[in-house]
Structure 1
Amino acid sequence: MKWTLPNILTVARLLAAPLVPVLFLYFARPWADWYAMILFIVASITDYLDGYLARAWKLESLFGAAMDPIADKAMVLIALLVINGYAGMTPWILLPSALIIYREVFVSGLRETLGDKARALKVTNLAKWKTTVQMVAIAILFSTGIFEHSLLDRIQGMDDQMVAAIMNGDVADEIGLRFYATGMTWSAWIGIGLLWIAGILTLITGWDYFSKAMPFLREDPEDA
C-alpha cells in the first residue's frame, strides 16, 4: 500500500469508527455527544474527499477500493449501535437501524460470494443518496443527545413547577430551557425521519443489488 492522501484518509476513518463508543466511556454527556457528532461529521466529509482526490489525482488503488466501503460501513454501523444504546432501543430508531444493518450484511455477503463477478454490483446514484441521508440522520441524532443533556444540566436542582413555568413563558427563560427543549424535539423528529428515509432507500438499493446478482447465483443444469 502506498501512503497517498486518499489512503491516509481511509485509514483515518477505519481508526475513527471504534472511537465513537470510547468517547462515551471517557467523557460525560453532552460533551461525549459533541465529540461523537464532530468525529462523525469529519469522517463523513473524508468519505467524500478520499474518493474525489483519488479520482482527481489518479491515485486510485486496490487498497482504497477495498478499505473505503469497509470504513464507511464500520462508521455507520458503530454509530447506529451507540445511538440505539443511548436511546433505550426506541423502536422508531431501532427498526430502520436494523434494516440498514441487515442490508449492509446482505450486500457484503453477496459481494463475497460473487468474488470477481462482484464488479457487476457497482454503487448506484441511489445508493450514494442513501449513504448521504443516513450520515446526515446520524449526525442529527447525535445532536439530539447534545440538546437533551444540555437541558438536563440546566434544570438540575430546579423543581418541576419552576421548569413548567419557564416552559410556559410565565417566568423569564434566562438559561435557554425552551431553546434546548425545542432543539431536542425537532432534532429527534428530523433525525428519525431521515433515518426512516435511509431505511427505505436501503431496501430499494438492497433489492437492486440482489436482482443484479441473481444471474450469477443461478446454478447450471449440469451442476444442479
Structure 2
Amino acid sequence: MLTLPNLLTLSRILAVPILVALLWPVGGWFDYALAFALYCLMGITDYFDGYLARAKGTVSRLGVFLDPIADKIMIAAVILMLVFVDRVQGLHIIAALVILIREIAVSGLREFLASLQVSVPVSQLAKWKTTFQLVALGALILAGAVPQWPWVHTVGLISLWAAAALTAVTGWDYLRVGLKHMD
C-alpha cells in the first residue's frame, strides 16, 4: 500500500492546500513563482507515479483509485483559484467550466461503468487534453510571477480554450461509450 508510486500520488493530494495558499490573493509574484514550481513538481510526480508503478509491477488498487482523484483535485483547485484571483475571467470562465463539468461527468461515468465491469481506456486524444490542461494552468500560474510578460497569460488562455475543446470532444467520446451500457 505504501509503495513509492502511491506515496507520490498522496503527496500530490497533500500538496494541493499548499498550492491553493500560494495562489491566494494576498501573495505577490514570488508566491506565484513558488506555486508554479510546486505545480510543475506535482506534474512530474504525476508522470513518475504511473511510470514507476508500471515499470516495477506495483500497480495497486489504491493507486488506480487515487491517481485520477489526485489529478482532478489539483485541476479543480487550480481552476477555482485562477478564477478567484481573476487570472481567468469573463468568457474564459466558460472554458474553465467545460473542463470542470467534463471531469466530474467522466468521473461519474467511469464509476457507473466500473460497476458494470466495463473498462474505458484513456484515449490518445484524452492524453492531449491533459497536456493542454497542464500547460494552460501552468502558464496562467506563471503569468502571475512574470506580469511583465503578458504573452504568458495569453498562451495560458489560448491553451485553456484548446483544452476545453479537447475536453468536450473526449467527454462526448466517453459519454457515447457509456450510453451503450445504459438501459
TM bracket (short chain):
over 0.9
Q: Once superposed, which parts of structure 1, at least 4 consecutive aligned residues long, lie more than 6 Å away?
A: none
Task: Note if 1:190 corresponds to 2:145.
Answer: no
The Cα shift of 1:119 comes to 3.9
* TM-score for the superposition, normalised by structure 2: 0.93
2:126 counterpart of 1:127: yes
Between the aligned partners of 2:174 and 2:157, the Cα distance in structure 1 is 25
How do residues 109-120 of structure 1 correspond to structure 2 at under 5 angstroms? 109-117=108-116, 119-120=118-119
CA offset at residue 88 of structure 1?
A: 6.3
User: Paired residue for 1:205?
Assistant: 170
CA deviations 1:52-110 (Å, max 9, x no partner) are 11101101000000000000010111001111111165124311110000101111111
> 2: CA distance between counterparts of 1:126 and 1:119?
20
**1:84–1:93 Cα contact (<8 Å) kept:** no
Count of residues in Structure 1 that have an aligned counterpart in Structure 2: 183
So what's the TM-score if we normalise by structure 1? 0.77
Q: Residues 53-72 of structure 1 correspond to what in structure 2 (within 5 A)?
A: 53-72=52-71
Among the aligned pairs, what percent are the same residue? Answer: 38
Q: What is the alpha-carbon distance in structure 2 between the residues aligned to residue 89 and residue 138 of structure 1?
A: 10
Paired residue secondary structure (1:19): helix
Q: Is the 8 A contact 1:96 1:199 kept in 2?
A: yes
Shift of residue 116, structure 1, vs aligned partner: 3.0
Q: Say whether the 8 Å CA contact 1:92–1:192 is kept in structure 2.
A: no
> Judging changes above 3 Å, is the alpha-carbon distance between structure 1 residues 61 and 3 closer, same or farther for their aligned structure 2 residues?
same
Contact 1:133 1:197 in 2 (8 A): yes
Q: Does 1:30 align with 2:29?
A: yes
TM-align CA RMSD: 1.7
Name the CA distance, whole Å, in 2 between partners of 1:80 and 1:12: 20
Distance in 2 of aligned mates of 1:24 and 1:216: 41
Cα distance in 1 for partners of 2:73, 2:124 equals 21
- Unmatched segments (≥5 aa) in structure 1: 149-179, 220-224
Whether the 8 Å contact between 2:87 and 2:140 is mirrored in structure 1 is: no
What's 1:46 paired with? 45
Compute the displacement of 1:120 (Å). 2.7
Structure 2 CA distance for partners of 1:57 and 1:77, relative to 1, 3 Å = same
Q: CA deviation at 1:22?
A: 1.6
Q: How does 1:75-224 map to 2 (within 5 A)?
A: 75-87=74-86, 90-117=89-116, 119-148=118-147, 180=148, 183=149, 185-217=150-182, 219=183
Is the contact between residue 111 and residue 118 of structure 1 (CA under 8 Å) also seen in structure 2? no
Q: CA 1:147 to 1:26, structure 2 compared with 1: closer, same or farther past 3 Å?
A: closer
SS at match of 1:121: coil
Partner of 1:177: none
SS of structure 2 residue aligned to 1:216? coil
CA separation of 1:26 and 1:89: change in aligned 2, threshold 3 A:
closer
- Alignment CA distance shift 1:201-1:24 (3 Å): closer
Contact 1:5–1:50, Cα closer than 8 Å, also in 2: yes
Residues in 2 aligned to 1:80 and 1:137: alpha-carbon distance in whole angstroms: 10
